[in-house]
Amino acid sequence: MGKGMRLSRGDRVFHAVNACFMAFIVIVVLYPLYYVVAASITDPTVVGNGKPLLYPTKLFFEGYKAAFGYEPLLNGYRNSLVYTTLGTAVNLLFTIPGAYALSRNDMAGRKAIMILYTFTMFFSGGMIPFYMLMRSLRFIDTIWVMILPGAVSVYNLIVVRTFFQSNISDEILEAAKIDGSSDFRFFFKIVLPLSSTIIAVMIIFYAVGHWNSYFNAIMYLNGREKMPLQAVLRDLLILNTITTDMRLSQTEAANRIRRADQLKYCVIVLASVPVMVMYPFAQKYFTQGVMVGSIKG
C-alpha cells in the first residue's frame, strides 16, 4: 500500500480488531510460560491461592537452592548434552541417507521396505522382549541404550523422504549422471546442500526428543552417574515430596512442603531453558521444513 493512500474506516476497524485479536493470542500463549517462571521464584503460598500471578511477590528461592544443591544435577546436564549431541548425530546418519534411498524410484523393493518401517509405528515386541534384546546386545547400563534403540524415527524418515521426493527431481539426477557424477557424489555434493532446511528440522525433532528422554534411563541404566537430566529432576522431585519426617519441627516441615511445591515449577524451568534458547535460532528452518515436507503424502 502506497504512503499517500489513506485507509478507509472499514480497513482501520479491521486492523484494530486484528491487532487486538493477535495480542490476545500472544497473551494466551506467553502467560503460561511467564507464570511458570514467576511461580518458580514466588512463595508457594501466594501461588496456591488461585489468583493470577502478574509479577513475583514474596520472593522464595528455596526451590532453586534445593535444585542447585542437588549434586547429581550438573552431572545430569552433562549426560543429557552428551546423549542429545551424539544421539542426534546418529539419528541424522541413519535417517537422511535412508530417506533419500527410499525416495528414489529406481530402488528395488522400496515399497516393501516402507511397509516394514510403517509396521513398526503400530506394533512392537513389548517391554520385556525389548529388555531381553538390550541385555543380549549388552547395552544395559551403557550409553548406547540411550542412543541406538531410537536411531531412526519412522515418522521423521517419512517426512524427509517426502521432502526429497518433492525437491530432488529425477531430472537433476539425470543431469548429474550425464556429467559423470556417481550416486555418492550426487548425494553429498547436490542433495545435502539442497536439504539444509529439512536437516535443521530433523536436528530440532531429534534433539528435543533426546533432551526429554527419561524412560530408557529409568529402565536400562543402573548407576546414577549415567542418568540424564530428566531422570535426575524426577528423582529430585520425588525426594522432596516424600512424607514429611515427624522429627522435623513445625516450621521446618512447613518450609519443606513449600519447597516441594515450588520445585515443580523450578524443575520445568531447568528442563526447558536449553530448548527454549535453541528454538528462536531454528524457527525459520523449522517453519520452512515442515511446510515443504508436507506438500505431498
pLDDT of residue 293: 46
Task: Give φ, ψ of 222 to 5 degrees.
Answer: -100, -40
- At residue 221, the 3 state secondary structure works out as coil
Nearest residue to 164 via CA among 116, 105, 243? 105
221 vs 229: CA distance, rounded Å: 13
233 vs 239: CA distance, rounded Å: 10
User: What pLDDT was estimated at residue 11?
Assistant: 81
Instruction: Indicate if the pLDDT at residue 170 is higher than 90.
Output: no
Mean per-residue pLDDT, 142-156: 91
Q: What string of DSSP letters covers 36-50?
A: HHHHTTB-HHHHTT-
Q: What are phi and psi of 47, to 5 degrees?
A: -65, -35
Model confidence at 242, in pLDDT bands (50, 70, 90)? Answer: low
Examine the pLDDT at 288 and tell me if it is beyond 70.
Answer: no
- pLDDT band, residue 241 (cuts 50/70/90): low
Domain limits, the chain: 9-61, 64-293
Q: Give the span between the Cα atoms of 214 and 231, in whole angstroms.
A: 5
Q: Could you say which architecture CATH assigns to the domain 64-293?
A: Orthogonal Bundle (1.10)
Measured CA to CA, the distance from residue 9 to residue 287 in angstroms comes to: 34
Which is higher by pLDDT, 28 or 50? 28
| pLDDT exceeds cutoff 70 at 243 | no
Give tens-digit pLDDT for 219-234.
999 878 889 988 888 8
Give the mean pLDDT of 118-146. Answer: 89
Determine the pLDDT at residue 91: 95
The Cα–Cα gap between 41 and 262 comes to 8
Beta bridge partners of 42: 59
Q: What mean pLDDT do residues 57-86 have?
A: 87
How confident is the model at residue 255, as a pLDDT? 66
**For the purposes of burial, counting CB atoms within 10 Å of the CB of 297, is it exposed (0-12), middle (13-18) or buried (19 or more)?**
exposed
Structure confidence at residue 247 as a pLDDT band (50, 70, 90) = low
Classify residue 297 by its DSSP letter: -
Residue 3 binned pLDDT confidence (cut-offs 50, 70, 90): low
Question: Are 166 and 292 in contact, with CB atoms under 8 Å apart?
Answer: yes
Whole-number pLDDT of residue 295 = 44
- Alpha-carbon dihedral angle through residues 31, 33, 35, 37, given to the nearest 10 degrees: -150
Question: Which DSSP symbol is given to 124?
Answer: -
Asked whether the predicted pLDDT for residue 2 surpasses 90, the reply is no
For residue 248, what pLDDT is reported? 57
- Mean pLDDT, the chain, whole residue set: 83
- Residue 253: pLDDT over 50: yes
Q: For the chain, what percent of residues have pLDDT higher than 70?
A: 87
* 59 three-state secondary structure: strand
How confident is the model over 169-174, as a mean pLDDT? 84
Question: What is the Cα–Cα distance from 225 to 219, expressed in whole angstroms?
Answer: 15
Mean local confidence (pLDDT), 59-68: 84
CA distances (Å), origin 220, targets 74, 78, 210, 232: 21, 19, 15, 15
pLDDT attached to residue 147? 92
pTM for this model (two decimals): 0.79
How far apart CA 27 and CA 41 sit, in angstroms, is 21
Could you tell me what percent of the chain has a pLDDT over 90? 23
Residue with cell 559423470: 180
Q: Is the dihedral of CA 109, 115, 120, 123 positive or negative?
A: negative
Residue 167 pLDDT > 60, yes or no?
yes
The predicted structure's pLDDT at residue 22: 92
Q: Give DSSP secondary structure letters for 60-99.
A: --HHHHHHHT-THHHHHHHHHHHHHHHHHHHHHHHHHHHH
